[in-house]
Amino acid sequence: MTVRRNFLLNVNPALDINDEHQWAEHHGQTAVCRFRCSYGQDGASPQRVSASRRTIYLRNKSAAMDRAKDIMVIICLLILKMPTFELASGKVLEETYRKWIQYKEECFKMIENEPLLQGGLFCNRTFDRYACWSDTPPGSVVNISCPFYLPWYNKVSQGVVRRRCGSDGIWERDSSGQVWRDMTQCEEEKEVTSQELWFKQLMVSFRMLYTVGYSLSLFTLVTALIILLSFRKLHCTRNYIHANLFLSLILRAMSVIVKDTMLERHWGREIMKQTDVREMLSHQAAIGCRIAQVMMQYCVLANHYWFFGEAIYLYSVLIASVFIDNNKYLPYICLGWGTPIVFVVPWVVMKLLKENKECWAVNENMHYWWIIRFPILFASLINFLIFMKILKVILSKLRASNQSGYPDYKLRLAKATLTLIPLFGIHEIIFIFATDEQTTGVLRYIKVFFTLFLNSFQGFLVAVLYCYANKEVRTELKRKLRSWRIEAEVVCCGQ
């Protein structure tokens, strides 16, 4: 017997954040929709469950509990039982559904393998799509631990859900005709704390912060790249390396924005009908999201290794005194664009084999994450060492040439330092030893804020310092503007 009930559901996308660039967005609109949620009931007649009937029951369980109904049960469970601030997200839905399937399969194994009660009537073993119940003697109340698939299970792990078996061997029903079940101990508190509201607003602020930063960086970097490539007098190895660094920053900004868009499309959509849930939980729906995640990891690595290339080039010119012509430009290409492939491919393989879930945004096993993290930390440490060596050289040269002007050379040293920091990505060293496993609470928020701020606005700073504020670039721009003005005057006077 199946009892159906109509529910009015308020469905919204959810807030979520994973490391520095995970999306966190709140939609102001609330979509209201209706679902028919099916909770399977049982025990239509008092009888002992025979082995033959149990076999027939197990043989036909797939038909009796079709996947569409299962999904709708989970939707109703999540949205009706979760507090209104914790908006129903596709990510929570998928994880809950996966655990619910596991719980259901374990229940069916129990139904198949548990020995039958001997003698007399009893309420039959069953799975009512919420909890798993074993054979129960008449006139008794059975307590079952709260199901582990509940998203808030950690808060209610000590609670129980109850059923009462009638004296006639039938599960007791309430006044509405449904099988009575007390699951109050397994429900989550519905009150929204001020801390939760603060965290929600914080995620919105973080999302807005790095979206503005990457958008501004994207605009200035694209313009700077066009300028460097347009003027032939600016074509040299140094500016070629700058141009590739600009391109890596552009791709990084674009990949973050695209990844956020894919995450929002995959997890943040409003659940309006049953097909929306099927699409959200399908394997195909996650492919585009995973591709965006892979591209973002590649672009982030490429960005760090073009910073590495900038450091090596400057070290070669200032300290090693190596003359680098255009024929030696290829090694920088291999370093900047080739090295990331060496690390991204193994990471993708490990994700496919070990953590092929959702959008690959969650790192359950941090050992696999070191495939991406290690080359970034390595490049950052080498950059920092080169940075300190170059500063030492600059300091000695400034002292030698400014013996009579101490304040002036100190100012120039500060200027050189501030100029090199964004070029080498030295800010990465700030939290290099504060790994994700070690940062919790306030320290975690501080790390996320500074990482998001510096990474998102870094492209803007690099474009300004190495293009718009560059003397050669400004000279060429002035010359070009003067040429255009003369041509305009000639055309005007000719008319």
pLDDT (0 to 100) of residue 20 = 42
> Is 180 domain-assigned?
yes
Q: How many CB atoms lie within 10 A of CB 184?
A: 10
- Residue 29's pLDDT is 29
CATH number of the domain residue 125 falls in? 4.10.1240.10
> Which region holds residue 475: left if phi is over 0, alpha if psi is between -120 and 50, else beta?
alpha
Structural element, H or E, at residue 143: strand 141-145
* pLDDT tens per residue across span 64-108: 444 445 555 555 555 444 443 333 445 566 677 778 888 999 999
What per-residue string of b and e applies to 66-81 under the rule 16 or more CB within 10 Å gives b? eeebbbbbbbbbbbee
Residue 403's domain spans which residues? 196-486
Within a domain: residue 97? yes
Beta strands per DSSP E along 98-191? 126-127, 132-133, 141-145, 160-164
pLDDT of 320 reads: 66
Question: pTM of the entire structure?
Answer: 0.63
Question: Are residues 388 and 244 part of one domain?
Answer: yes
Q: Is 295 within a domain?
A: yes
Instruction: Identify the pLDDT of residue 21.
Output: 43
Between 468 and 267, residue with greater pLDDT: 468
**Residue 464 DSSP SS3:** helix
306 confidence band (pLDDT: 50, 70, 90)? very high
Q: Does residue 493 lie within any of the structural domains? A: no
Residue of 18 and 236 predicted with greater confidence: 236
Backbone φ and ψ for 35, nearest 5 degrees, come out as: -125, 155
- Sequence-ordered list of residues with C-beta below 8 angstroms from that of 389, at least 6 positions apart, any chain: 315, 319
Binning pLDDT at 50, 70 and 90, where does residue 343 land?
Answer: very high
Note whether residue 191 is domain-resident: no
Q: How confident is the model at residue 13 (pLDDT cuts 50, 70, 90)?
A: very low
Average pLDDT on 414-432 reads 69
Poorest-pLDDT segment among 32-36, 47-51, 163-167, 269-273 = 32-36
pLDDT tens digits, 195-252: 667 777 887 888 888 889 889 999 999 999 999 898 888 888 888 888 999 999 999 9
Residue 434 pLDDT greater than 80, yes or no: no
Q: Which of 87-101, 127-141, 178-192, 351-365 has the highest mean pLDDT?
A: 127-141
Task: Report residue 286's pLDDT band, with 50, 70 and 90 as the boundaries.
Answer: confident
- My answer on whether 65 and 158 are in the same domain is yes
Q: CA–CA distance from 126 to each of 42, 186, 228, 404 (Å)?
A: 7, 19, 71, 92
| H helix or E strand, kind and range, residue 4 | strand 2-11
Tell me, yes or no, whether 492 lies in a domain: no
How would you classify residue 36: left for phi > 0, otherwise alpha for psi between -120 and 50, otherwise beta?
A: beta
pLDDT higher than threshold 60 for residue 56? no
Partners of 173 in the β-ladder: 179
- The whole-angstrom separation of Cα 368 and Cα 365 is 6
Lowest-pLDDT range of 217-231, 260-274, 367-381, 393-407: 260-274
Q: How far apart are the C-alpha atoms of 155 and 191, rounded to whole Å? A: 14
* Same-domain status, 447 and 312: yes
Residues 340 and 245 in one domain: yes
Residue 302 and residue 332 in one domain: yes
Q: How many domains does the chain have?
A: 2
Between 319 and 25, residue with greater pLDDT: 319
Percent of the chain whose pLDDT exceeds 90 = 15
- Scan for tokens 């790095």, then name that residue: 210
Question: Residue 335: which of 357, 310, 318, 359 has the closest Cα?
Answer: 310
- What are the helix and strand counts (H, E) for the chain? 15, 6
Which CATH number goes with the domain that contains 417? 1.20.1070.10
Average pLDDT over residues 176-182: 87
Q: Cα(179)–Cα(173) distance, rounded to whole angstroms?
A: 4
CB 477, CB 228: distance < 8 Å: no
The residue count of the chain comes to 495
Kindly state the average pLDDT of the residues 387-391: 84
SS3 473: helix
Q: Are residues 180 and 218 in the same domain?
A: no
Domain presence at residue 344? yes
CA 65 from centre of chain: 33
Q: What local confidence, expressed as pLDDT, does residue 485 receive?
A: 81
pLDDT of 305 strictly over 90? yes
**pLDDT at residue 14, rounded to an integer:** 28
Q: What is residue 48's DSSP assignment?
A: -
Pairing of strands 31-40, 2-11: antiparallel
Q: Which residue has the tokens 């900004």?
A: 253
Residues 6+ apart with CB under 8 A from 179: 41, 42, 43, 128, 163, 171, 172, 173
Q: What is the pLDDT of residue 469?
A: 85
Last-in-domain residue among 186, 213, 246:
186
Q: How confident is the model at residue 34 (pLDDT cuts 50, 70, 90)?
A: very low
Q: Are residues 251 and 106 in the same domain?
A: no
Which residue among 186, 219, 250 closes a domain? 186
Question: Where residue 375 falls among pLDDT bands split at 50, 70, 90?
Answer: very high
For residues 357-365, give the mean pLDDT: 75
